[in-house]
Structure 1
Amino acid sequence: MIKKCIGILSFFCCSCLFGQDYFPKNDGVKTTNTNYTAFTNAKIHVSSGQIINKGTLLIHNGKVISTGTNVSIPKNTKIINIEGKSIYPSFIDMYSDFGIEKPKAQPRSRSQAPQYDASRTGYYWNDHVMPENEALSKFNYDSKTAKALLDAGFGVVNTHIQDGIHRGTGALVALNTKEGNETRILKENSAQYLSFDRSATSRQAYPNSIMGSIALLRQLYNDAAWYKKGLSKTKDLSIEALNRNQDLIQIFEAGSKANALRADKIGDQFGIQYVILGGGDEYERIDEIKNTNAAFILPVNFKDAYDVENSFLTSSLALSDMRAWSQEPTNPKVLADNNISFALTTHTLKSPSEFKGKLMQAIKNGLSKEKALEALTLVPAQLLGQSTAIGTLNNGAYANFLITSGDIFEKKTKLYENWVQGQQHIVTNMNTIDIVGDYEFSVDNTTYKMTVEGDIKKLKSKITSETKTLGSKISYNNDWVQISMTTKDSTSQDFIRIVAHVENDAALKGKATLPNGNEISFSAKKSTKTEDDSEEKDKKDDDSKNSIASISYPNTAYGFKTLPKQETLLFKNATVWTNETDGILENTDVLIKNGKIVKIGKNLSDGKAQIIDATGKHLTAGIIDEHSHIATASVNEGGQNSSAEVSIEDVIDNEDIGIYRNLAGGVTSIQILHGSANPIGGRSAIIKLKWGESADNLIYNDSPKFIKFALGENVKQTRYSNGVRFPQTRMGVEQVYIDYFTRAKEYDALKKSGKPYRKDVEMDVLAEILNKERFISCHSYVQSEINMLMKVAEQFDFNINTFTHILEGYKVADKMVEHGVGGSTFSDWWAYKYEVNDAIPYNAAIMHNAGVTVAINSDDPEMSRRLNQEAAKSIKYGGISEEEAWKFVTLNPAKLLHIDNRVGSIKVGKDADVVLWTDHPMSIYAKAEKTIIEGVTYFDLERDTMLRSEIKKEKNELINQMLKAKNKGLKTQPIKKKEKVDMHCDFIGNIIN
């Protein structure tokens, strides 16, 4: 900290050598320019909602003195007449790393402990959390980038160190090229910055998942509250900085709608309203985004069209990616229409020079010019608490303004000058004559037509004769134009070289040098187009723009255009598998109303019900998968040997196509388990597969509390090439459990004593296990470890709820019954690693016959779609009855998950989670015709057939639009085939969503 303070002091001292008014002057008499500057006869946009025609802007000492039509101009004023031109406030980019060197990634060797290898003392224990960081300690003014930003219209940036989960504070900087940092720095601590991303500079392994980052942030806030009370026995400079800056604006880099909602939930828990850097996909879930009450910072890096000329590659394009190209430019408009406050940023653009083109796309897609200006000026100024100083041209504000040839949001408008703190930056000389347009000229008895397009600094020419287009290049500088053109075709080496002066009427006069060296006079006259012609061309461009793809829920293939509604349904003459004492009922009716099963019997009727003829078909309870890893953005937090603090509920991916595919296989509920990277994993999410609903709406109401534990090869890192984390042996795994439960017992006792205690989410969760409020589902294979964990649980007076996988369950079935633990297993997986060599297909039957509650699970996104057939294998291997085998994937997993009072069987009063099968439900020929959850049809076989045709048609329309875009010369991107990542127990990483 001392070194940092010295660094900051040195920074300001160096700046002082060049700027502060109190610094001694030893090189003669200095004069100060006290003149005013007045810009007259301009159209002045004082702010996004206030315009003055034929107005005057008066500035002095870098500030706005007055704006209006009757401004009193002092004698010592430099008057600049800019009649016909416009003045706007300079833009503000409130999310930038301007002047901050990108942190370099640090390698980690095998010998370095990955868990707690903190590089600092006196700071927070986790290196990915750095609230003490200050942007100014790393800031160096970058003249090259400043010029690019100034040329794009920006006058102020809010910069920070883009590294880590808590990144410290940013600084508000004016892009003043003439003066030093003593003038440029508008606010040294302008905001606190956060993200879900690890620091590139830290060797610590934790966290290595989004859910780990979420848990770390929650614990940080808990620790900060504890520290603030003065109860900590040690000093923590990180937490002190966090608490000291808690009243600053908090800016969270989310980068996607899903992460925006996750970040907002953290903020809500701790009373913080983040300003969120979005990902440009907020339009897809606009109601949820609006409910965050957050202001957003929107990138405008809209997708380029894909190059779809290769049909083979094009077939691999996902519909969601194709839609994004069509829909992303509407994002700012959608937020504006929903009264969501937002600023715009250059973040993620390769260069600020791309900004205007991208912004024009948004305007073309409905964003009003007023909202665009507001999002670049007033909104960021207000969010930063600097609206009196920047963002407007009100009296007293900094003299940060743009001079343009007209409406700044028109393609043809030229940006002439960008003034920052009263200092002029010339973008384009105001006296430069605009030569963009159409010309006609003759050279050597041949008539040519020339079109000049583009920005003055980067012009393009297109020259044609009567029969062909010729290759050509053009440059323009200081009122002189130089043109080179071929005389035959674009591959010809015979050139005509033209040098011409630009006259006041944009006519070109000079000489042309022919291929033989002869020089002749040259003249070209610019054709004049009326305002009506220009407007007609703009209208034609608007009329020719692509239709925007419709949004669905989720906004992928097979999504709903409108979310399906709960219905009253009456199934007639079905074969009903009740899973109750009634058994299988032939030719039976089932009535569903208000999301519940209300009647079961024959000859039922209901005047308001939709009748479904189920003759010859089978109606069952929905399949329940006790062990799944679909529908989550991350599955493992393996940075530590215990990650009880993390929760799968924080990272549910409600857009995973696996949800739809599972519905097509008759699955209605799943438990999404943490992986098996560590002995004590994270908390589970028990969800219903309500395709199209929000992530939160998938989770069971009053959901039972579960956590994943793991044994065996994965947790001791047998197959990891760089595994150095404790434990490394099976006996070490046992010691982990004993140590953690001993700590949790002590923590719980202190918590219950009424004495002050530091809230520790990890210990809270483990205490819930001790208090029999949370259940363990344990990844297991080898009988010795299964016995070990049951003994550890009994030592601490609780029970293991479920051993999942448990391929050696047949060896310890009697002990499982005695302990009271269930078994969820694979039907016939074996020999895929050493510790499953003793697996047998009779495992489920043996456990069941011994009295264990048995379920068949998937742990695999492909197998989960055919659990009906997996259940049938227990009939072949072990002679289980059809009814009992069917319970292995319905009622029994419901019992193991403590939700059997709601689902798992067809019984009056239970949730209407049912499946109508075309055939016997365990037949290889059976298809799920309808999959219904709480009376809502989320999968329908007939609709699925129709959707396949619609998807093909929509993709074809989008492909045609992309081909047209390429033919117009618009930029395209290559197709990169993306393979869907299927997560299993040992998957490390995140699925970006």
Structure 2
Amino acid sequence: MKKRFLMLLMAAGLALPGWSQVTFPLNGVYDERPGVYAFTNATIVIDPQTTLDNATLLIRNGIIEAVGKDVKLPAGAVVTNLQGKRIYPALIDLESTYGMPEVKRAPGQGGRAPQQHESNKKGAYYWNQAIQPETDASQLFKVTEQSADELRKLGFGAVLTHHHDGIARGNGALVSLADDRENTVMLRAGVSAHYSFSKGTSTQAYPNSPMGSVALLRQAFYDADWYKRGGAKEQANLSLDALSKQKSIPQIFEAPDKFGILRADKIGDEFGIQFIVKGTGDEYQRLDEVKATGASLIVPLAFPQAYDVEDAWDADNVSLAELKHWEMAPANAGMLAKANIPFALTAAGLRNKADFWNNLRKAIEYGLPEAKALEALTTAPARLIKADDLLSTLQKGKLANFIITSGNLFSPDNIIYENWIRGNRHIVNDKSVADLRGTYTLTIGNQKNLKLLITGKSVEKPEYQITVNDTTRLTPKVAVSNDLLSIQVQLDKKPGTGTTRLTGYRENGSLKGDGTLPDGTPVKWTATLAQAYQPTATKADTSKVNKPEIGKPLYPFVGMGNTEKPKAETLLIRNATVWTNEKDGIMGSTDVLVQNGKIAQVGKNLAAPAGAKVIDGTGKHLTNGIIDEHSHIALFSVNEGGQSSSAEVRMGDVVNSDDINIYRQLAGGVTSSQLLHGSANSIGGQSALIKLKWGESPENMLIKGTDGFIKFALGENVKQSNWGIANPTRFPQTRMGVEQVYFDHFVRAREYDNAWKKYNALPAKEKLNAVPPRRDIELDALAEILNKKRFITCHSYVQSEINMLMKVADSLGFKVNTFTHILEGYKVADKMAKHGAGGSSFADWWAYKMEVKDAIPYNAALMQREGVTVSINSDDAEMARRLNQEAAKTVEYGGIAEEDAWKMVTLNPAKLLHLDNRLGSIRAGKDADLVLWNNNPLSVYARPEKTIIDGAIYFDLQAEDQKRGEMQKERARLIQKMLTAKVGGAPTQRPTFRRARMFHCEDVEGIMAEGETEHKH
């Protein structure tokens, strides 16, 4: 019977009296106390929705045994009366480095650092050092008392920690913040899997861009799936084994900004993963898109400091986006809560952890409900990592992780007294310290016209003031030691009058003792409490508190952004000169009707439908929008140059919809662009075809249903001619090697494609038992070229290389869709026409490097006369604003007809991009991408008055001045607000000049940081 009783106790997980279940021998006396504690008469916040008054919390051996108003206290319990105090669940942080080794990156060596192409990590691991899912936080973890104490003082009882290094970072461990050994502090190992877009300490050349990081992680996920489905029979790989096993635990992705959240979710959708995403606090800028991801967020409380804008020149270096983010960042959590986006809060990112509570209270002031704040620090994080059976509420059976406070946790006057972790007490502030605050009638000897005021938000740090005759205010020096009080004050401000010294103690709420006057006369003194201190009223309902006024979000969140996204309208443009690019040519006094984002009718005297906006086009020219076949705007990076081929990367993964060049090019009549990879390697990345929808998200800018395109490159950039002395180690180093790269990769792609075709042709029963080929997203893209599903735009200059690539293509059975730049195209135009390649060229760029010394301005005209489809492109953010004038140059150089010249920036690029069924001309049924010009579009005096995309007006010259005025007014308001903040004592930072990066083909290093925008806007 006795044995059965012992077994029942052990099954219940209770410690047995008289012995302990320890795995470490102790060199000393064992502490066998039962650990039974009762906290009575407290206000107990069980969870964010449940609060009990005058209740009792009973814990035994680190576990909550009972909570309620009628809890029976067992014999031997240590009872603490918490009358007037509160108990809350201890806080949980999901974004921590606690106990992890420091991430030490190798020192940079600039352009002299040799390239590392293969992994230096020894063992059966993944080929790339940035993929390290085998990292186990529980094996790296070490208790760090100083860091634990810092977090305990904030009210945290447990954290999820992981090693913040790499793209696939391994798993996380849930640990308590107790000052104990690792084996008792560790709550759960392998709780979560962690990812980022940062390669961390990896010294490999690949990836060197955000799009490369995306591609590498996608490939790793595909490889892990292949490994699980049979690849393990072919090779051992500890990284892939770990990655495949981690799919069943919560997946947490650290995103660099709002766009990173959308990018991570896109990866998750591809692999059936719903990531929990750690953001940066700018989620409010894309609230609808963030909500649509369905992701739960981990949101920091790190807010930007105000800028020191006293100097007008310094102020000009602060962008409107930076000004607005300073104002709006504290409202982020409240806006997420209002939008019903689930999130947890984190202390990560704070310059000083002591700012945590001030920033949290600021977030509450800006609209975050207190109940939501508590949820975001307790139940939400526990639920996200499936630890809500262990932590987050004060319910029976859960760990005894709780904090004892003086009052409302979120009140500025609140004091955290104790933090109990697994039933072990950690004193934060001594709750036995007497509260001396109040107003006292002070008598010193015969002097009775005095008052002593003791105030302050904290009992531990009171503020003292003595008034004489209710007028003169004196600040005494006060020292408190246990129950003794020492005061020094100069009661008479006249020079040389000396200091009165008082020493005393507290008795029945009053103060008394002895003192010495400046002349040495001994006196008695008393301070009788006249009025108790009245703390700041606790906010019972934050929804009724007036929130600080803040500006509206902008779409995009930069200068010249819109307070609302443009919407498609029914438009009737009357009596314009219409450049149709169709058989009707240029039609005078013609109307164009736009409905539902399409061109509905083209003709004369069209009737305006009900509700249509009528635009007078008299004396003006209406064209379709300009299409830029070769652009690098609106991107966070342009080159992934770590390998000879980066066919796996996608420019669509790094579209920057906040780029001011989108708006500038709308002002130049551009409505669509092909965003190309650069020319750092022979085979570049996959293009993104976008419409310049200013204010839309990156995904909504992409043109849906298009053919796929990819960038290839020839010449100096590919063979790294100008990359510095140490860098040229990547194959190829010669033009001959470039040819070999193409043959090698396409032969492999054909074999790969055939392997998949053979596998897919298997009968269903055989396919079940067969191991599928390893999915290779680089070879996928090349196989699409062979299967005429993806098309090449090739960076090219020299005729010998142009001939070479056409011969390679002919021998392997594919075509080169477009040669871009193609400044020696006039030499091989007949061969291009025979091959079926188009030419996208500059109008008159030449002699800017050796490869283009034979360029001539007649190039476009000569290619067109040989039957080549010719377009004029920009490859430059500034030139794209004037592509109409670039087209006009072909009239001057080569005698091209005006209509044909105009087609070189409209219909012809649409043909090269296989979009001429939708874009490039004005015809009923085509997309309503239109530009209304004040003059002949080929004139140097021409300027767009309205730029329309899919029936929505994205640029309006008439509204330009008003929009710019509103921007300046908003800047002025925010600058004045910052000046006021500085006067009020707010910390400030010095503005820093940052030049906006405009990418070109060859740009590899100095990739613009995600989220960086044009500094003047």
Match of 1:163 among 162, 165, 181: 165
Match of 1:611 in 2: 614
Q: Does 1:624 align with 2:665?
A: no
- Counterpart pick for 2:873 among 857, 867, 887: 857
Query: Per-residue deviation at 1:670?
Result: 0.3
Q: Which amino acid aligns with 1:149?
A: L
TM-superposed deviation, 1:424: 0.7
8 Å CA contact 2:366–2:547 kept in 1: the answer is no
* Counterpart among 641, 644, 658 of residue 644 in structure 2: 641
- Contact 1:228–1:243 (Cα < 8 Å) also in 2: yes
Percent of aligned pairs with the same amino acid: 49
Match of 1:246, SS?
A: helix
2:102 alignment partner in structure 1: 102
Aligned in 2, Cα 1:301/1:473: closer, same or farther, shift over 3 Å? farther
Cα offsets for 1:670-718 (capped at 9, x unmatched): 0000111111000000011111112111111201210001111111111
Q: CA deviation at 1:555?
A: 2.5
Residue 120 of structure 1 contacts residue 127 of structure 1 at CA under 8 Å; is this kept in 2? Answer: no
Q: Of the candidates 782, 805, 808, which is equivalent to residue 766 of structure 1?
A: 782
* Corresponding residue of 2:961: 945
**1:260: Cα distance to partner?**
0.8
TM-score normalised by length of structure 2: 0.90
The within-5 A match list for 1:463-482 is 478=482
Between 25-34 and 506-515, the greater mean CA deviation after superposition:
506-515
Aligned equivalents of 1:131, 1:659: Cα separation in 2: 39
Task: Note the C-alpha offset of 1:318.
Answer: 1.3
Match of 1:746 in 2: 751
C-alpha displacement of 1:66: 0.6
Q: Could you tell me which residue of structure 2 aligns to residue 867 of structure 1?
A: 883
Give the superposition deviation at 1:877: 2.1
Displacement of 1:284 in angstroms is 1.8
Question: What's the secondary structure of 2:550's corresponding residue?
Answer: coil
Separation in 1 of the partners of 2:518 and 2:998? 64
Match of 1:680 among 679, 683, 692: 683
Give 1:830-909 correspondences, 5 Å limit. Answer: 830-909=846-925
Q: Which of 698, 702, 714 is the aligned partner of 1:699?
A: 702
SS at structure 2 position matched to 1:170:
strand
The question of 1:332 aligning with 2:333 is answered yes
d(CA) in 1 for partners of 2:465, 2:733: 70
1:113-132 matches, within 5 Å, as 113-132=115-134
Comparing 74-83 with 603-612, greater Cα deviation is found at: 603-612
Q: Aligned with 1:259: secondary structure?
A: helix
Query: Aligned equivalents of 2:29 and 2:114: distance in 1?
Result: 61
Could you tell me which residue of structure 2 aligns to residue 255 of structure 1?
256
Distance 2:739 2:98 in 1: 51
Deviation for aligned residue 1:50: 1.3
Q: Does 1:818 align with 2:834?
A: yes
Distance (whole Å) between structure 2 residues aligned to residue 224 and residue 620 of structure 1: 51
Q: How many residues align?
A: 970
Shift of 1:56: 0.6
The superposition leaves residues 231-263 of structure 1 with CA deviations (integer Å, 9 ceiling, x where unpaired) of: 341100111111222211111111322111111
1:910 to 901, 905, 926: 926
> Structure 1 pair 401/800, CA: closer, same or farther in 2 (3 Å)?
same
The change in CA–CA distance for 1:499 and 1:421 in structure 2 (over 3 A counts) is farther
C-alpha distance 270-28 of structure 1, shift in aligned 2 (>3 A) = closer
TM-superposed CA distance for 1:842, in Å, is 2.2
Aligned residue among 579, 589, 592 for 1:587: 589
> What letter is aligned with 1:105?
R
Where does residue 662 of structure 1 map in the other structure?
665
Equivalent position amino acid for 1:197 in 2: S
Q: Which amino acid is the alignment partner of residue 100 of structure 1?
A: M
Work out the CA distance in 1 between the residues paired with 2:883 and 2:337.
46
Q: Structure 1 pair 525/372, CA: closer, same or farther in 2 (3 Å)? A: farther
Q: In structure 1, what residue type is equivalent to 2:262?
A: L
**Aligned counterpart for 1:980 among listed residues 996, 999, 1012:** 996
8 Å Cα contact 1:486-1:493 kept in structure 2: no
| C-alpha spacing 1:586/1:24, structure 2 compared with 1 (3 Å) | closer
**1:158 counterpart letter in structure 2:** L
Describe how 1:57-68 pairs up with structure 2 within 5 A.
57-68=57-68
> Hey, what's the Cα distance between the residues in 1 that align with 2:346 and 2:356?
9
The answer on whether the counterparts of 2:712 and 2:795 sit within 8 Å (CA) in structure 1 is yes
Name the CA shift for 1:842/1:44 in 2 (closer, same or farther; >3 Å): same
Distance 1:421 1:541, change over 3 A: closer
State the distance in 2 between where 1:581 and 1:715 align.
Answer: 42
Cα contact 1:118–1:125 (8 A) shared by 2: no
Going from structure 1 to structure 2, the CA distance change for 1:943 and 1:435 (only over 3 Å counts) comes to farther
Provide the C-alpha distance between the structure 1 equivalents of 2:869 and 2:373, rounded to a whole number of angstroms: 61
Q: 1:227 to 1:517 in 2, by over 3 A?
A: farther
Per the TM alignment, residue 949 of structure 1 is displaced from its structure 2 partner at its CA by 1.1
User: 2-side partners of 1:914 and 1:574: how far apart?
Assistant: 12
Whole-angstrom distance in 1 between the partners of 2:342 and 2:542:
32
Shift of 1:968: 2.0
Counterpart residue identity of residue 393, structure 1: L
Relative distance call for 1:154 and 1:436 in structure 2 (3 A) is farther
Distance 1:874 1:934 in 2: 29
Instruction: Give, in whole Å, the separation in 1 of the partners of 2:488 and 2:732.
Output: 73
Q: Distance in 2 between matches of 1:504 and 1:716?
A: 87
Using the size of structure 1 for normalisation, the TM-score is 0.92
Q: Secondary structure at the match of 2:741?
A: helix
- Counterpart pick for 2:975 among 959, 976, 990: 959
Correspondences of 1:342-491 after superposition (within 5 Å) = 342-434=343-435, 453=456, 455=458, 478=482
Say whether 1:710 aligns with 2:713: yes
**Structure 2 CA distance for partners of 1:301 and 1:434, relative to 1, 3 Å:** farther
Amino acid at match of 2:753: D
Counterpart residue type for residue 613 of structure 1: D
Per the TM alignment, residue 521 of structure 1 is displaced from its structure 2 partner at its CA by 7.5
Name the counterpart of 1:12: none
Q: In 2, Cα distance between the equivalents of 1:409 and 1:293? A: 29
SS in 1 for 2:230: coil
8 A Cα contact 1:459 1:474, kept in partner = no
AA at the equivalent of 1:619: L
Deviations 1:584-642 (A, max 9, x none): 11111111112111222221112322211111111111001011111122211111111
Query: 1:992 and 1:494 mapped to 2: Cα distance?
Result: 64
Distance 1:654 1:776 in 2: 25
Which residue does 1:992 correspond to in 2?
Answer: 1010
Cα distance in 2 for partners of 1:486, 1:538 equals 43
1:731 to 718, 727, 736: 736
Q: 2:692 corresponds to which residue?
A: 689
Residue number in structure 2 paired with 1:8: none
Task: Give the Cα separation in 1 of the matches to 2:934 and 2:909.
Answer: 24
Range 408-417 or range 804-813, more displaced: 804-813
Code of the aligned partner of 1:819: H
CA RMSD for the aligned pairs? Answer: 3.1
Amino acid at match of 1:352: K
**Would you say 1:242 and 2:243 are equivalent positions?**
yes
Q: 1:148 to 1:883 in 2, by over 3 A?
A: same
Match of 1:143 among 142, 145, 149: 145
Name the stretch that deviates more: 61-70 or 323-332: 323-332
Change (3 A) 1:61 1:505: same
Q: Give yes or no for contact 2:141–2:182 (8 Å, CA) kept in 1.
A: no
Quote the Cα distance in structure 2 between the aligned partners of 1:364 and 1:236: 51
Closer/same/farther in 2, CA of residues 62 and 924 from structure 1, 3 Å limit: same
* Pairing of 1:593-604 with structure 2 (within 5 A): 593-604=595-606
Q: Distance in 2 between matches of 1:828 and 1:557?
A: 33
The unaligned stretches of length 5 or more in structure 1 are 1-18
SS of alignment partner, residue 94 of structure 1 = strand
Equivalent position of 1:283 in the other structure: 284
Work out whether residues 580 and 905 of structure 1, in 8 Å CA contact, stay in contact via their aligned partners in 2: yes
Alignment partners' CA distance in 1, 2:756 and 2:920: 38
In structure 2, the CA distance between the partners of 1:524 and 1:941, relative to structure 1 (3 Å rule), is: farther
Q: CA deviation at 1:89?
A: 0.5
Q: 1:316 offset after TM fit, Å?
A: 2.2
1:161-198 Cα shifts (integer Å, max 9, x gaps): 00000111111111111x32221110021111111110
Cα distance in 2, alignment partners of residues 468 and 579 from structure 1: 87
Question: 1:137: Cα distance to partner?
Answer: 2.2
CA distance in 1, matches of 2:972, 2:42: 49
